[in-house]
Chains A and B, each alone.
Chain A
């Protein structure tokens, strides 16, 4: 059942009434329409939406310290988030079919706060103003070739709380006059089902993981008018196959939580990414910084980027410390901090595992070595699960007598991998 703008306006007014007097809303709604109503209700009441990348107890505790007045808006009966919970009011609001006034939001208004994990345990907040968020997705619409096109139906396999899903489904619909689908389809049969059920033109916002699953599932793929991929670079061959099997064009988006999206490329035509206008990259001490355009402040990028021309660059992978699993980002430093803060852990370190098969799909996992003679694996994993997103749980977690630190106390990644390889062989 399509939802009209008048219904949306009535719904946001109703939800705005239950959000209370605080200034911050953790919008945990799983349904993309509920999430969008919650976002709009927060905007019209001057509240900031908090969008952490994960909802582990430790992150929620830190979020409560960051914004003591935060409430959690949820549409799930078994929501376990430890904040004052406001259930999404489900009853339909009566609405008039007459044009209701569309609220006007000041472009300088603080709309959302997103977080990266930082390296010392405390999440680092990035504040997003409404005007810059919308400027960014309007350029996205240009790049995707949607300017002047009829309204599209947007189907997304990524959650609305993730920066990519937030921009490319929720904000693209709100800011550029498109329609979004409330579902977040997961299995290949779900994705093709939702896609086939909405009118064309329709867009699939997805990731290498879901696209690979779709191709390999062997089920019939409904035509799409555009496919967008982000969170990890798509292998050239997979990209070509997606275009061929869906009989459509594919665009990839590059961005980060801090900057939002800043570049796009048609991967079957060029490996080069083209920046949003006004965004520039500069080198400083071997690191790449992005600034300008919609970016709130100069930001160090966590990938190795090679500037190849005005507005253009190549992506050469992540910087050594970064961990990116299925679009969830962390750093080895942060994971190490969490591991070492467990009572009973004497020393411990995460490291990247070489696994070309997994990294092809953007799901290369991390492993860890730990010195903890009084703990067992179940106990360490249970403690980690409270602190970090499950995608970062170590595979494997190895118990060792000591870590291969060098004379300066440093721990080369290669030494960890060798230790792990020797340990696994003897096991």
Chain B
């Protein structure tokens, strides 16, 4: 066993901000897992739409994603928010929104 403590790694500090790329990968993983998609998380293109043409998600999927996002990050999405259309515009925009509004 290696004598290594969590404390020596600065990345393990809870206050360290998660980089955008790391969060995007994490969110992509959650989406693939929640929706049982056939694609690998890394294959979701960051700037392609999640709805319709891009990843072909529909409103049932969006509800499912909203649910995992609320559980994982404490972000409750609302359709009356002006940002709503933009949030699901791409993986990057969803991750940005989570970064700005996460409570956990």
Does A390 reach chain B (CB closer than 8 Å)? Answer: yes
Does B100 reach chain A (CB closer than 8 Å)? Answer: no
Is A187 a contact of B58 with CB atoms below 8 Å? no
Q: Is the interface of B mostly helix, strand, loop or mixed?
A: loop
Q: Is the interface of A mostly helix, strand, loop or mixed?
A: helix
Is A187 a contact of B78 with CB atoms below 8 Å? yes
Cα distance A424–B76 in the bound complex, in angstroms: 35
Nearest B residue to A363, CB-CB: B60
Find chain B residues with CB under 8 A from A202 CB.
none
Is A189 a contact of B77 with CB atoms below 8 Å? yes
Q: In whole Å, how far is B41's beta carbon from the nearest beta carbon of chain A?
A: 16
Does B70 reach chain A (CB closer than 8 Å)? Answer: yes
Q: Give the most central of B37, B52, B70: most A CB within 10 Å.
A: B70
Find chain B residues with CB under 8 A from A325 CB.
60
Cα distance A358–B70 in the bound complex, in angstroms: 19
Q: In whole Å, how far is A389's beta carbon from the nearest beta carbon of chain B?
A: 8
Does A304 reach chain B (CB closer than 8 Å)? Answer: no
Interface string of A156-195 (1 = CB under 8 A from B): 0000000000000000000000000000011111100100
Is B56 a contact of A209 with CB atoms below 8 Å? no
Q: In whole Å, how far is A48's beta carbon from the nearest beta carbon of chain B?
A: 28
Does B67 reach chain A (CB closer than 8 Å)? Answer: yes
Interface size class of A (residues with CB under 8 A): 20 to 34
Find chain A residues with CB under 8 A from B79 CB.
185-187, 190
Is B38 a contact of A188 with CB atoms below 8 Å? no
Find chain B residues with CB under 8 A from A193 CB.
78, 80
Is A219 a contact of B52 with CB atoms below 8 Å? no
Q: In whole Å, how far is A400's beta carbon from the nearest beta carbon of chain B?
A: 15
Find chain A residues with CB under 8 A from B71 CB.
216, 218
Does B59 reach chain A (CB closer than 8 Å)? Answer: yes
Q: In whole Å, how far is B67's beta carbon from the nearest beta carbon of chain A?
A: 5
Interface size class of B (residues with CB under 8 A): 20 to 34
Does B63 reach chain A (CB closer than 8 Å)? Answer: yes
Q: Give the most central of B56, B59, B71: most A CB within 10 Å.
A: B56
Nearest B residue to A217, CB-CB: B70
Question: Within residues 374 to 416 of chain A, which ones have a CB less than 8 A from any CB in chain B?
Answer: 381-382, 385, 390-391, 393, 395-396
Cα distance A325–B58 in the bound complex, in angstroms: 12
Does B36 reach chain A (CB closer than 8 Å)? Answer: yes
Question: Do A326 and B76 contact each other (CB < 8 Å), given the known contacts A188-B70, A216-B71?
Answer: no
Cα distance A275–B79 in the bound complex, in angstroms: 37
Find chain A residues with CB under 8 A from B58 CB.
390-391, 393
Is B67 a contact of A189 with CB atoms below 8 Å? no
Question: Within residues 29 to 50 of chain B, which ones have a CB less than 8 A from any CB in chain A?
Answer: 36-38
Does B23 reach chain A (CB closer than 8 Å)? Answer: no
Could you show 13 A-B contacts with beta carbons less than 8 Å apart?
Answer: A186-B59, A188-B76, A193-B78, A213-B66, A216-B67, A217-B67, A217-B70, A218-B71, A358-B36, A385-B56, A391-B60, A393-B58, A395-B38
- Ranked nearest first, the 7 interchain pairs of A and B with the lowest CB-CB distance are A189-B76, A390-B58, A186-B79, A396-B38, A187-B77, A189-B78, A190-B79
| Chain A residues with a Cβ under 8 A of chain B | 185-190, 193, 209-210, 213, 216-219, 325-326, 355, 357-358, 363, 381-382, 385, 390-391, 393, 395-396, 424
Taking A357-B36, A393-B58 as given, write out 16 further A-B residue pairs in contact, using a Cβ cutoff of 8 Å, ordered by the A residue number: A186-B79, A187-B63, A187-B66, A190-B79, A193-B80, A209-B60, A213-B64, A213-B66, A216-B71, A217-B67, A363-B60, A381-B56, A385-B56, A390-B52, A390-B58, A396-B38
| Chain B residues with a Cβ under 8 A of chain A | 36-38, 52-53, 56, 58-60, 63-64, 66-67, 70-71, 76-80
